[in-house]
Structure 1
Amino acid sequence: MTSTPGTAPARRVPRPRADALRNRERIVTAAREMFVEFGSQVPYDEVARRAGVGNATLYRNFPERADLVHEVVLSLMGRVIEVAERAAEEQGDSFAALRRFVHGAADERVGALCPMLEGTFDKDHPDLIAERDRLEEAVRGLVDRAQRAGRLRADVGVGDLMVALSQLTRPLPGTGCASLDQFAHRHLRIFLDGLEAPARSELPGKAATLEDLRRDSCSS
């Protein structure tokens, strides 16, 4: 490494060790599973136990619960984006791609995102905004493609799809994930049948965009 005469040489930032990266990934995976099952207030020591690491390792990576929740939300969004992108690439039929995305996102428990975004969570963090934009682009691509093909009714928007997906994949109060698994895909299939063109009825109001949802959320 060279340096400009008269200046201090640049310091090399050490890269995280491979085992440290693996531990961090195991923590995020365990936390994502447990947050979805039990909520984001699950005890730290339970997360560490499932991840197979010590409490000190967990706190070293995520000193504050908000740090861990942030990383879990990013991980969950990334997995849902991958579901959308794979559906678009691998399904020739546009509505089949949309259906595959909806059921795949349900398997990732995308409805669990909503409770994690409540409270003091920083919804405007640059990392979160970047992933949100990627998710919107991927889902909008599926919706636009199905509407251009005449397979998806024209009076629905990405916001309509995501609201229904979120609501239908959230456990009812007092129930666990087992109850959700029993009904979510069944109810999503009913919902998807209602999205296919030609439409059998006229919807009130206008198609919802994700911008509409963010604006309504901020004003409430």
Structure 2
Amino acid sequence: MRADAVRNQQRIVEAARELFADRGLEITLDDVAERAGVGVGTVYRRFANKTELISEVFEHHLGEFADAAEASVHHPDPWLGLVQFVEYACRHLAINRGFSEVILELDLDTERFHRVRDRIKPAVAAIVERARTAGVLQPDIEPSDLFAMIHMVDGLAEFAKPVNPEIWRRYMAITLNGIRADSVERQDLPVRALTDDEVDRAKTARTAPCASRRR
């Protein structure tokens, strides 16, 4: 590949990374071309469709996510292993909207995503099973509950991000307190609650883009 082609590909991937993180997977290849400062045809020569670009941008993130899940399985303390994984997931999803959408769906029909999915799901199942067996997790909690819990925390984090980007830590602690066994010490909430004014400002920030698109 020529040097200018390499530079263009790097610009395209970096532009896509920024846009996916900020706006999620709804962006178009036209958006990427505009941000990268290249023609749309240049983007299509490098990536035939958006799925290929998503795979290129998020493969590394997904690999690290799978590594984190597998590492948590081997934590010497089953409860802290579960907390370690949930915290990793919530933290990374809270700062990257596109990664949040990718990791919580994991249904893109590409070989790269299949390989990662086949690592993540068994690891999360093992995290939950270890915690249940150790008696530190409520016995009726399932692996799908963990994914749903992370999704709920991420949704709240996305809502409150304009006024308090660290609020996910509070909601994560609340949720973990709700699934722990009675033998596990309750976590203190690490971040204060949103004020009424912050809730109102978060609502305004959420509806403003929709209003501008309607205009």
TM bucket (normalised to shorter chain) is 0.5 to 0.7
- Report the equivalent of 1:135: 120
- Shift, 1:192, TM fit: 0.6
Question: Matches of residues 47-66 of structure 1 in structure 2 within 5 Å?
Answer: 48=36, 58-66=43-51
Q: Which runs of 5+ in 2 are unaligned?
A: 184-215
- Structure 2 residue corresponding to 1:82, chosen from 33, 47, 67: 67
- Shift, 1:101, TM fit: 0.8
- Report the equivalent of 1:196: 180
Contact 1:112 1:170 in 2 (8 A): no
> Which structure has greater helix proportion?
2
Contact 2:72 2:85 in 1 (8 A): yes
Question: Matches of residues 119-134 of structure 1 in structure 2 within 5 Å?
Answer: 123-134=108-119
- Shift, 1:179, TM fit: 4.4
Contact 2:70 2:120 in 1 (8 A): no
- Structure 1 residue corresponding to 2:149, chosen from 164, 174, 178: 164
Alpha-carbon distance in structure 2 between the residues aligned to 1:140 and 1:188: 19
Q: Do the aligned partners of residues 94 and 167 (structure 1) sit closer, same or farther apart at CA in structure 2, a change above 3 Å counting? A: same
Tell me the TM-score normalised to structure 2 length. 0.63
SS of match in other structure, 1:181: coil
- Structure 1 residue corresponding to 2:33, chosen from 30, 45, 52: 45
Contact 1:169 1:180 in 2 (8 A): no
- Report the equivalent of 2:76: 92
- Structure 2 residue corresponding to 1:154, chosen from 120, 123, 139: 139
Instruction: Note the alpha carbon deviations across 1:33-52, whole angstroms, 9 max, x for none.
Output: 43132122061136536xxx
| Letter matched to residue 72 of structure 2 | A
- Shift, 1:128, TM fit: 2.0
Q: Do the aligned partners of residues 133 and 26 (structure 1) sit closer, same or farther apart at CA in structure 2, a change above 3 Å counting? A: farther
RMSD of the TM alignment (CA)?
A: 3.8
Alpha-carbon distance in structure 1 between the residues aligned to 2:140 and 2:44: 48
Instruction: Note the alpha carbon deviations across 1:66-120, whole angstroms, 9 max, x for none.
Output: 321233344432221122223334x3211111111111111221774564599xx
Alpha-carbon distance in structure 2 between the residues aligned to 1:176 and 1:18: 43
Alpha-carbon distance in structure 2 between the residues aligned to 1:63 and 1:30: 16
Q: Which runs of 5+ in 1 are unaligned?
A: 1-15, 200-220
| Letter matched to residue 45 of structure 1 | A
- Aligned-pair identity in percent equals 30
Contact 1:168 1:184 in 2 (8 A): yes
Alpha-carbon distance in structure 1 between the residues aligned to 2:6 and 2:68: 24
